[in-house]
Structure 1
């Protein structure tokens, strides 16, 4: 692990800190709170001076702090997009803290109405509630406004609005995979990269996105706060919370392929200190894919209790029942061992007609927030989630379809269960040491995951089924297909527990009014416990072959932030994340985690009073100890065991991300972004089994782009008319599998894919409390593919129509 840059920056910070006492003799500081007229904290409100270029934004609890202020009299201003600016005259004394509080003229309900206009909301999952300009990391937020205007139902459609993020795979038609900065996330199960309300969630069966308050993305390494997560991105789905004013919305969505989707959202007070919210939806739809259908029920109830002025308790739950047709895509032809995409209709379905994938998922969480005072806050989170999946159908066509399209289908019966438990404690504090301001976070988290997988025998008339039937994916009429469902009997159950534990601390230190340093360190431990195997025939229990494995790693982060004005921030940072390895070294010892180093620089701007944001970031990510198959054994003899590895490989990811978001008025907003990535193998052993040096990694487009514009007319005869347009671009990339030296067969395992763009047009009308919105997506009927490995080759959706009729109350 290379620490030259972070060590240098830490030493620089310590040197500055060591001279801090003298600074206190010349400067003072200001702290305070901003609340609404009904006493609720007003978060992310802009605080600044009329006379000098210096400012900040309030934290989630409404508190703010300004340091390094010269002695004198100033006019302090409070502003928020769409609200009336307030001013107060204050006097600052050297070495003293001046306290000033503001009360907005608007109440919470009115503030929410203004806030709903905005689309450039801040990311709340950073645990430390850092202001956007103080966060040395590129982020992205898809707000409820965008989700509603684009009529989004799936997480993948929401993430297309974030620069550098792309939907790259749909595994078996029941799960999504996303790519950013050269790394993929989203494989079904609690892999640790997708969160709901800040805790790990299982994403099997597609999470419900239409009812979300927002979708947040942290790009790059977030290991400091979240442990073993991807170096590309992590995603947080934020559900809607209770409100103390009564209201809600009912809507009906309908569209192509018999889509019907009613949604109900009701909220309000149950008592003076108790509020509720219930969000629910039902979805019934067919698909542009033959045979495929969807039936879903989702309910999300929540309660918010205010225990006095300083403590709130939020209880949230949700239930998802998702019955999907598993879809193996259109398959690929094995032509001279190359995987070729077949020339078949976009609708071609090659699974059995009776295939099913049924999911039941229940989630519950409890959040307790306690403010000791204006500067110190404790947050405690506990959550539990249970996910059960039962599925049956044809096994995937894993490169075993003949060149003429013939495929002998086998069957796959699965039954899995996963229980996830999370505990999290965070202490946030703001304080001064001399003239230096601190925004401190100290916390710990613990995650327990217990998964169970059943093994089945499949029989028909008492005979084991190895080959179910034969079809031809080019001509489904060539052979007579079977329609019976063979018996499947569970014979064993494997239980696989694991735990993840972490302790972390982070401090944002304001050295001057323009210079800040963020330093942090996390210790993580991940334990994979030896599996147990229960024989369901005789109830005998045995242990798995792999021993319990414990991995630990340190994850530092250091960043230097320079803010020449209160609207502009430059940052440079170092952080790392770690990946867990399987296998052993040449001495037979379990492999340690690989440390991935990331360097990032960028600039963030909040212009026109926050109505326009412009951000640019550049990154360099290196995994310099990628585990590869070892060349020789400990005795010097050639190694032929793929489980024996050594840290001789390397991958490098370089890229650029650009975001431009505008809320130019309450009637007009736009979102645009661009991402470039070059992820490749930069060092390999060039031995048999190792990857090809210089080859791009699969499922990583070089270029991505997004653009959305919506305008609502509020004058003339066309008052209430809404018009919108969106465009999304995914660049050229490889599907399939990366090649290795000496592979058999020698032909390329990559599947080249061209870039593609889709365009959507929307139009709607609102009259008082009733609104109608319609959209035509992929208006050019573009055809391209999402590929998982070499089997799940999924055509993108064709031109489709969807409309939503809503009533707000």
Structure 2
């Protein structure tokens, strides 16, 4: 019934809004100001501040340099452009009700100089729209938390992995995967699964350790994004934005080197092919050893792209990338009697000497943008991605209290193909004095998963070693021969229809309302048996079909031009893969989220300060079944209801010219709030495993722009990860059993990094010492993959810009 009342409330709200529109339809339409800001060589100037002085209304120019103001009374206005490091310009314009006045600006800087200024500055987090929002709405107008990490932060921190970047995002806690074959993150208490990662707005596989050093930005949309993307986790969605072609020649080459034989050359080349066609090619190669004995990695990455301006109103962006890697699977120091060992060094390695994890990922996408007029735009994106993984390794370091461990092997060879498409129509229109910012869209994707079985028993013992005394046993060094017995191919199809309307009832009150219909079908696997050559559908797995409506409604109140207060409700369904202990398909989980917050721009937009509070209720929390001997199975079960409460604070900005900072703090408490009953069910009130209570981050960079030290850059970063629990959550029966709690407490830790660099003309040098205090702690997956954090390391990058 409560879902019915929520939907009823949304329906009433929409009815009242429509009724209001009808009453106001007779009010004369007010005037508008539109225009474009360009550099002095004719290139569009994106993300420049534009302000109406008389009423202090502000906006940022879009990537194509355009801007607009609507709902203006008749009269004379002063329009001003500004940005830190740019010459201020202003023009007087006359606005007449019912008409649009056009005004353009040409900056004194050329596009290259402007790009340097924009990169060096930090524009307000509350003003720049996120591409993953599918529509250009400033975050200050959205009843949802958004955080964007720019390419400048990625460059300054010399980040190569997604984890290097996301530790700057409050509310994101780092975890690990089995054997560190990928990275895992927790947002608002929820583990981010494969459905929560996107590249340029298209769903992508996260298991490949994506290359981030070459990205333009990383966007994090916190909380539920079900209305836009369907079946995603309630924690957050992450969008990786690649760099785009430019209509000017340029290039940059760099060499990064660091501790443990880390070497990474990179190149970035761009320019016009013709007046309407531009290109960009980015490539990197990475070769590295590790503080972990025997662990090493090789990575190749290339990212070509083309931008074709078909006409003044239509453009086509074609992008591709290819990543190939070979890294050592590493379960760290493992557990000792079910606990984290304190007598094993952080560099000790216990996998087989031949273990490998190889992967290839290729992506191709095309994005078409068409501007019908100043208010209506069509966007269409289609993409394809393939991902292949070849893995052979020992598994699960679960040594006895005296260190004895029988090594077992796991052989995997999988491939995944993604086909995705979406069409979005964006429109701005008025009904009377009420402004609408409308998004209507459809998306769909097909996911094809191929898995193989081998002639290798996962229960067979390969050999026996001792993690405390390596000389106790003689380990095997041969790699067993394996053959594929069968292949299983499973299709998943998804489609969604959605609409969203940002309704500006006045300059201070805005309502966001929307609804999505989602449909998902998981087909019956087709199994190919190698020995017979036959292919047939599985007789034990049934097809699964699910559908749901995901509503979203929010209220934004802006008492000041620089302050937004918001409250929102959203609902999403989360399909659960796998089967229960009886072999039946798992139904989808229904999740409700409530959020309130405030967004502020302080000191004329130089500082952004945002605060949000949330509550997320999962009415059917699904988890892996763990047998009494702590041995996990492939089966899953519903554990009852969980509730996740939390708080997030983020600060960013430019205190003075050249001094940029980024800081945040988050608290989360996700626990069981209802379970079916004792003694076999989970414990009400117990924190969910993997959930980090407190996280905090702070980064400060200052670049000297004058005097003898002009070009010198100094920076410092601090990252805090609070206490959390590993292992498995308890049942009431566990607490009374002789073995007791299955939880493994993991302590908190803080790391500090220091950076120094110098730029002279086109040459720059950047050096960093990370984890200065040589702090020791661990990321733990269940109780068998216990991986020490990196010790003190040195990293330096030298680059030259053409």
In which range does the TM-score fall when normalised by the shorter chain? over 0.9
Distance 1:27 1:76 in 2: 21
1:486 to 459, 477, 480: 480
SS at match of 1:146: helix
What do residues 458-481 of structure 1 show as CA deviations (whole Å, max 9, x unaligned)?
49xxxx992111001112121111
Unpaired segments ≥5 residues, structure 2: 626-632
Correspondences of 1:95-494 after superposition (within 5 Å): 96-105=98-107, 106-120=109-123, 122=128, 123-186=130-193, 191-334=194-337, 338-397=338-397, 399=398, 401-458=399-456, 466-494=460-488
* Contact 2:282–2:304 (CA under 8 A) maintained in structure 1: yes
1:666, distance to aligned residue in structure 2 (A): 4.3
Secondary structure of 1:83's counterpart equals coil
Within 5 Å, which residues of 2 pair with 1:622-771? 622-626=617-621, 649-743=640-734, 746-771=739-764
Residue 629 of structure 2 is matched in structure 1 by: none
Is 2:689–2:727's contact at 8 Å kept on the other side of the alignment? yes
Give the corresponding residue for 2:616: 621
- Return the alpha-carbon distance in structure 1 between the equivalents of residues 304 and 624 of structure 2: 50
Question: Aligned pair 1:555/2:550, yes or no?
Answer: yes
State yes or no: 1:581 paired with 2:569. Answer: no
Residue 25 of structure 2 contacts residue 431 of structure 2 at CA under 8 Å; is this kept in 1? no
Contact 2:76-2:95 within 8 A present in 1 as well:
yes
Shift of 1:664: 3.1
Larger deviation: 617-626 or 784-793? 617-626
1:605 counterpart = 2:600: yes
CA contact (8 A) 1:205 1:324 kept: no
Deviations 1:258-315 (A, max 9, x none): 0111011111111111111111011111001010001111111111111110111111
| Cα distance between partner residues in 2 of 1:753 and 1:100 | 60
Query: 1:686, CA displacement in angstroms?
Result: 2.1
- 3-state SS of the aligned residue for 1:111? helix
Q: Is the 8 A contact 2:406 2:464 kept in 1?
A: yes
1:633 corresponds in structure 2 to: none
Counterpart-to-counterpart distance in 2, 1:525 and 1:414:
30
Whole-angstrom CA distance in 2 between matches of 1:374 and 1:108: 24
CA contact (8 A) 2:34 2:69 kept: no
TM norm structure 1: 0.92
Distance in 2 between the 1:775 and 1:477 partners?
38
Deviation at 1:437, TM superposition (A): 1.0
- SS of the aligned residue for 1:339 comes to coil
> Deviation digits for residues 747-794 of structure 1, max 9, x if unmatched?
211110111000001111111111111111000010111011121111
Alignment check: 8 A CA contact 2:581 2:635 kept: no
Which of 657-666 and 435-444 deviates more? 657-666
Q: Residue deviations 1:350-406, cap 9 Å, x none?
A: 110111111111111111111111111111111111111111121223x4x211110
Relative to the length of structure 2, the TM-score reads 0.93
- Secondary structure, counterpart of 2:791 in structure 1: coil
Q: Is the 8 A contact 2:352 2:477 kept in 1?
A: yes
- Contact 1:311/1:370 (<8 A) preserved: yes
**SS state at 1:241 partner:** coil
Q: Hey, what's the Cα distance between the residues in 2 that align with 1:27 and 1:239?
A: 40
* Distance in 2, Cα, partners of 1:790 & 1:144: 36
Q: Kindly indicate whether residue 25 of structure 2 is the aligned counterpart of residue 18 of structure 1.
A: no
CA distance in 1 between partners of 2:304 and 2:146 (Å):
28
The CA distance in 2 between the partners of 1:603 and 1:145, in whole Å, is 26
Q: Which residue of 1 aligns with 2:786?
A: 793
- Check the 8 A contact 1:602/1:615 in 2, yes or no: yes
SS state of the match for residue 211, structure 2?
coil
- Please list every run of 5 or more consecutive structure 1 residues that lacks an aligned counterpart in the other structure: 631-640
Q: Is the 8 A contact 1:369 1:379 kept in 2?
A: yes
**CA distance 1:44–1:243, shift in 2 (3 Å):** same
Whether the 8 Å contact between 2:542 and 2:585 is mirrored in structure 1 is no
CA gap 1:643/1:760 in 2 versus in 1, 3 angstroms: closer
- Listed one character per residue, the Cα deviations across residues 495-552 of structure 1 (whole Å, up to 9, x for unaligned) are 1111111111111111111111111111111111111111111112233212110111
Distance (Å, rounded) in 1 between the aligned partners of 2:622 and 2:168: 34
Deviation of the 1:700 alpha carbon: 1.3
- CA distance 1:293–1:22, change in 2 (3 Å): closer
Matched, 1:779 2:772: yes
Q: Structure 2 vs 1, CA of residues 8 and 109 (structure 1 numbering), >3 Å: closer, same or farther?
A: farther
Q: Is the 8 A contact 2:35 2:68 kept in 1?
A: no
Quick one: structure 1 residues 604 and 109, their matched pair in 2 at CA, closer, same or farther if it must change by over 3 Å? same
Residues 60/602 of structure 1: CA separation in 2 closer, same or farther (3 Å cut): farther
Contact 2:658 2:704 in 1 (8 A): yes
- Alignment root-mean-square deviation, CA: 2.5
Verify the 8 A CA contact 2:363 2:383 in the aligned structure 1: yes
Provide the residue aligned with 1:635 in structure 2.
none
Question: Is the contact made by 2:594 and 2:616 (CA closer than 8 Å) also made in structure 1?
Answer: yes
* Matched-pair contact (CA < 8 Å) for 2:269–2:281: yes
1:133-188: CA deviation from partner (whole Å, max 9, x where unpaired) = 112211111111111111111100100001111212243121000011111115xx
The reply on whether 1:73 has 2:67 as its aligned counterpart is: no
Aligned CA distance change for structure 1 residues 104 and 553 (closer, same or farther; 3 Å)? farther
Q: Partners of 2:533 and 2:276 in 1: how far apart?
A: 52
Q: Using a 3 Å threshold, how does the CA distance of structure 1 residues 607 and 6 change in structure 2: closer, same or farther?
A: farther
1:91 and 1:438 map into 2 onto residues whose CA distance is 24
Deviates more, 1:63-72 or 1:96-105: 63-72
Measured in 2, the distance between the counterparts of 1:406 and 1:480 equals 12
C-alpha spacing 1:745/1:43, structure 2 compared with 1 (3 Å):
farther
Q: Is the Cα contact below 8 Å between 1:136 and 1:571 reproduced in 2?
A: yes
Please give the alpha-carbon distance, in whole angstroms, between the structure 1 residues aligned to 2:166 and 2:624: 35
Q: Which moved more, 1:105-114 or 1:548-557?
A: 105-114
Shift of 1:484: 0.9
The Cα of 1:12 is off from its aligned counterpart by 4.4
**C-alpha distance in structure 1 between counterparts of 2:572 and 2:254, whole Å:** 43
Question: How far off its partner does 1:129 sit?
Answer: 1.4
Q: Contact 1:366–1:382 (CA<8 Å) still a contact in 2? A: yes
Distance of aligned partners of 1:547 and 1:171 in 2 relative to their CA distance in 1, 3 Å threshold: same
Structure 2: how far apart are the matches of 1:568 and 1:9? 25
Separation (CA, whole Å) in 2 of partners of 1:495 and 1:325: 27
Separation in 2, partners of 1:71, 1:161: 45
**In structure 2, C-alpha distance between the alignment counterparts of 1:681 and 1:609, rounded to whole Å:** 44
Say whether the 8 Å CA contact 1:654–1:679 is kept in structure 2: yes
Instruction: Check the 8 A contact 1:170/1:788 in 2, yes or no.
Output: yes
